[in-house]
Chains A and B, each alone.
Chain A
Amino acid sequence: MSTAPAPSAVPAAPARLPLRRPDSGRWFAGVAVGLAAHLDLPVVVVRVALVALVPVAGIGLVLYVFWWLTVPVGDPATDAAGSRPSALQRLARRQTLGESRRVPFADLALGALLVLAAGVLVAMRLGAEVDSTWVLPALLVLVGLGLAWSQLDAVQRRQGDRRRISVLRLIGGVLLAAAGVLLLVGESVGRGVEPALMVQAGIGALAVLLGVGLVLAPWWVRLVRELGDERAARAREAERADIAAHLHDSVLQTLALIRARADEPAEVARMARAQERELREWLYDDRHEPGTSLAAALRAVVAEVEDSRSGPTGEPVAVDVVVVGDRVPDADTQALLQATREALVNAVVHGRPPVSLYLEVGPSVVEVFVRDRGDGFDLDAVGSDRFGVRESIIGRVRRRGGTARVTSSPQRGTEVHLCMPVGGTAPSADAAGARPAAPDPAAERRTDPQEDA
């Protein structure tokens, strides 16, 4: 007999652990393992004691079943932490130990029962004197009870698909047990099993059950309702704890990093900015599913640029983002975002802060303005062979049927205006992609620097 890993593997709390039936290390229902953890005894001792108590008027068995029914499933160490006042609890979840493989003792017990039944049948065939009149009903009752009770553990463990299965188990168990009881009663009264009597008894039993059910219904309804409320409250609490844990985790990490690199002001400013951005998103923004929000995608682009690029003198640059409206991103807005990213990088690296970014999502057009307060540059002075502004910003947007305009002057800095038609008016991605990047004259004129309407 191999010794199952006892829960002493988990770090022991100073006080006595609560009585729980742990999932790991159990043989049958986890009663012995849970008891051992609770009493701080070797699990073998508990098992031996329980087995030794079985012959003594079945005390061992009764105790085992009693604890199985009354002690909840759970990990004693985790629950010990959970019973502390919530203010003292840490918010981050503890690492859990890997679950050990379990011996399928429930299945073995069922198999043994079947073998026993088969043995009894064989013995009867061979002419052994077995009082078959009560053995069959008793077996029926036992199997029914076992089936009905077995859902107790199953319900606590599994989540998916459990309703249908547990209902099936319950119905099967009740039918088997009822048939067994009726047979037993009929047998003990000594009148055999008369169908008419069975039906009569069945109807009587049903009527009693119905009456009791009606009386208890309000109590049961209240119980269900309270359970629902409690569940909702717990879900809210768990969500809050999740958010808090996330925030604490990231903030703590950033603070540790900042302390370690306190003599590098640029790096400290960048980390503080990244952390501020993340906190802001958690606290004040509606968090979107990935791929459903252009505004969120834009913020991700801004975050990337802020984290990876520095201004002309090496200092980090914060981008002031204002977004009006939102839509689901598509291929066109993806191109617009890439062009926006290039414009942002230009503004951060070559311009001067503050850098402003404005995104406006209209019903038929999406517009982006990227502005910095640098000395500006002359677009015509940038060689046409260079892939900077001309290709990565203007070309990208124009291939998708949009327009791009760069306004630049020494007094007012540089502003890039990107405009992308969306919705029904936009050409399909294939058509736009297949078209050569030949600039149409109207758009070319608009890219002239220093010209603004």
Chain B
Amino acid sequence: MNAVDVVLVDDHHMFRAGVRASLDDRVRVVGEASTVDEAVRVVHELAPPVVLLDVHLPGGDGGGGAEVVRRCVDVPGTRFLALSVSDAAEDVVAVIRVGARGYVTKAIDPAALSDAVLRVAGGDAVFSPRLAGFVLDAFGAAAGDVATGDDELDRLSAREREVMRLIARGYTYREVAAELFISVKTVETHVSAVLRKLQLSNRNELTRWAAARRLL
């Protein structure tokens, strides 16, 4: 299996060095950037399958990681995984809303980070317990508010809610699958569906968060 190429975007040199050292050989760092403009240039140049992106970045119009994602929508095949020391809802939702495929905090252990990169490269979404918590917060954790059809963007289906709750409780995808007697692939499908809703939904909570970051 070929290693997945990754571009690393973070304004802290020490942190980039740390991430580079901690990624295993399933992942190869092909480029680095430390500002918004530099990141946009490098991503356009290399068109990597995955970009590990810090949420808080200097430069550009001050939009940070979200601005990088927005200015790189014309690069086909590149997916973004947000990596941040912040776990504030505004920061998370900001990058997810503009199209990042997942969000992990910098406290993640090295093996899990490599796993997350591979998962994003494979087109799946990466949900940390924290992100699952935000989703439940934003879509309302109460069981009564359940989506009935697949096309409904503003509510989670009962199954999606179950998956999110298990992830929030610290279950891995594999453990979620075992718990619910479904395949890991099905778990990934549910998670991707939730990510899509998170990006496209017009729920008040989400638009409010986005407005707070001046994304609308």
Contacts of A320 in B (CB 8 A): 129, 170
Q: Is A199 an interface residue (CB 8 A)?
A: no
Contact with B along A294-322 (1 / 0, CB 8 A): 00000000000000000000000010101
Contacts of B165 in A (CB 8 A): 358, 360
Q: Do B170 and A371 touch (CB < 8 A)?
A: yes
Contacts of B168 in A (CB 8 A): 322, 324, 358, 360
**Chain A proximity of B92: nearest CB distance (Å):** 10
The distance in angstroms between the C-alpha atoms of A363 and B170, with both chains bound, is: 23
Q: Do B141 and A322 touch (CB < 8 A)?
A: no
Contact with A along B163-198 (1 / 0, CB 8 A): 001001110000100010000000000000000000
Contact with A along B104-132 (1 / 0, CB 8 A): 00010000000000000000000001101
Q: Do A356 and B141 touch (CB < 8 A)?
A: no
**Chain A proximity of B66: nearest CB distance (Å):** 17
Q: Is B86 an interface residue (CB 8 A)?
A: yes
Which B residues, 58 to 112, have Cβ-Cβ distances below 8 Å to chain A? 86-88, 107
Q: Do B136 and A360 touch (CB < 8 A)?
A: yes
Q: Do B141 and A324 touch (CB < 8 A)?
A: yes
Contacts of A362 in B (CB 8 A): 141-143
Contacts of B170 in A (CB 8 A): 320, 322, 354, 356, 358, 371
Q: Do B129 and A356 touch (CB < 8 A)?
A: yes
Contacts of B136 in A (CB 8 A): 324, 360
Q: Is A68 an interface residue (CB 8 A)?
A: no
Q: Do A322 and B133 touch (CB < 8 A)?
A: yes
Residue of A at shortest CB range from B86? A284
Q: Is A323 an interface residue (CB 8 A)?
A: yes
Q: Is A283 an interface residue (CB 8 A)?
A: yes
Contact A371:B169 (CB < 8 A) given known A284-B88, A322-B129, A356-B129: yes
**Chain B proximity of A359: nearest CB distance (Å):** 9
The distance in angstroms between the C-alpha atoms of A283 and B87, with both chains bound, is: 10
**Chain B proximity of A254: nearest CB distance (Å):** 17
Q: Is A280 an interface residue (CB 8 A)?
A: yes
Contact A324:B133 (CB < 8 A) given known A280-B87, A283-B86: yes
Contacts of A322 in B (CB 8 A): 129-130, 132-133, 168-170
Contacts of B133 in A (CB 8 A): 322-324, 358
The distance in angstroms between the C-alpha atoms of A325 and B136, with both chains bound, is: 9
Q: Is B24 an interface residue (CB 8 A)?
A: no
Q: Is B137 an interface residue (CB 8 A)?
A: yes
Which A residues, 370 to 421, have Cβ-Cβ distances below 8 Å to chain B? 371, 412, 415
Residue of B at shortest CB range from A276? B107
Q: Is A369 an interface residue (CB 8 A)?
A: yes
Contacts of B86 in A (CB 8 A): 283-284
- Give the size of the chain B interface in residues (CB under 8 angstroms): 19
**Chain B proximity of A357: nearest CB distance (Å):** 8
Q: Do A358 and B129 touch (CB < 8 A)?
A: yes
The distance in angstroms between the C-alpha atoms of A235 and B65, with both chains bound, is: 31
Q: Do A356 and B169 touch (CB < 8 A)?
A: yes
The distance in angstroms between the C-alpha atoms of A363 and B88, with both chains bound, is: 24
The distance in angstroms between the C-alpha atoms of A452 and B179, with both chains bound, is: 9
Contacts of A412 in B (CB 8 A): 175
Contacts of B87 in A (CB 8 A): 280, 284
Contacts of A356 in B (CB 8 A): 129, 169-170
Q: Do B169 and A358 touch (CB < 8 A)?
A: yes
Contact A360:B129 (CB < 8 A) given known A280-B87, A284-B88, A324-B136: no
Q: Which of A284, A322, A358 has the most CB of B within 10 A?
A: A322
**Chain A proximity of B84: nearest CB distance (Å):** 10
Contacts of A324 in B (CB 8 A): 133, 136-137, 141, 168
Contact with A along B6-41 (1 / 0, CB 8 A): 000000000000000000000000000000000000
Q: Do B141 and A325 touch (CB < 8 A)?
A: yes
Contact with A along B129-167 (1 / 0, CB 8 A): 110110011000111000000000000000000000100
Contacts of B143 in A (CB 8 A): 362
The distance in angstroms between the C-alpha atoms of A322 and B133, with both chains bound, is: 6
**Chain B proximity of A257: nearest CB distance (Å):** 21
The distance in angstroms between the C-alpha atoms of A320 and B131, with both chains bound, is: 12
**Chain A proximity of B179: nearest CB distance (Å):** 8
Contacts of A325 in B (CB 8 A): 137, 141
Residue of A at shortest CB range from B131? A322
Q: Which of A280, A324, A356 has the most CB of B within 10 A?
A: A324
The distance in angstroms between the C-alpha atoms of A363 and B144, with both chains bound, is: 11
Q: Do A363 and B137 touch (CB < 8 A)?
A: no
Q: Which of B86, B133, B143, B175 has the most CB of A within 10 A?
A: B133
The distance in angstroms between the C-alpha atoms of A322 and B132, with both chains bound, is: 9
Residue of B at shortest CB range from A356? B170
The distance in angstroms between the C-alpha atoms of A371 and B87, with both chains bound, is: 21
The distance in angstroms between the C-alpha atoms of A354 and B128, with both chains bound, is: 13
**Chain B proximity of A348: nearest CB distance (Å):** 14
Contacts of B175 in A (CB 8 A): 412
Contacts of B142 in A (CB 8 A): 362-363
The distance in angstroms between the C-alpha atoms of A362 and B175, with both chains bound, is: 25
Q: Which of B132, B165, B168, B170 has the most CB of A within 10 A?
A: B170
**Chain B proximity of A93: nearest CB distance (Å):** 29
Residue of B at shortest CB range from A286? B88
Contacts of B130 in A (CB 8 A): 322
In the complex, besides A363-B142, A369-B169, 18 extra interface pairs with C-beta distance below 8 angstroms are A280-B87, A284-B86, A320-B170, A322-B130, A322-B132, A322-B133, A322-B169, A323-B133, A324-B136, A325-B137, A325-B141, A354-B170, A358-B133, A358-B165, A358-B170, A361-B141, A371-B170, A452-B179
Q: List 15 A-B contacts (CB under 8 A).
A: A283-B88, A284-B88, A320-B129, A322-B130, A322-B132, A322-B168, A323-B133, A324-B137, A356-B169, A356-B170, A360-B136, A360-B168, A363-B142, A415-B169, A452-B179
A interface residues with partner B (beta carbon < 8 Å): 280, 283-285, 318, 320, 322-325, 354, 356, 358, 360-363, 369, 371, 412, 415, 452
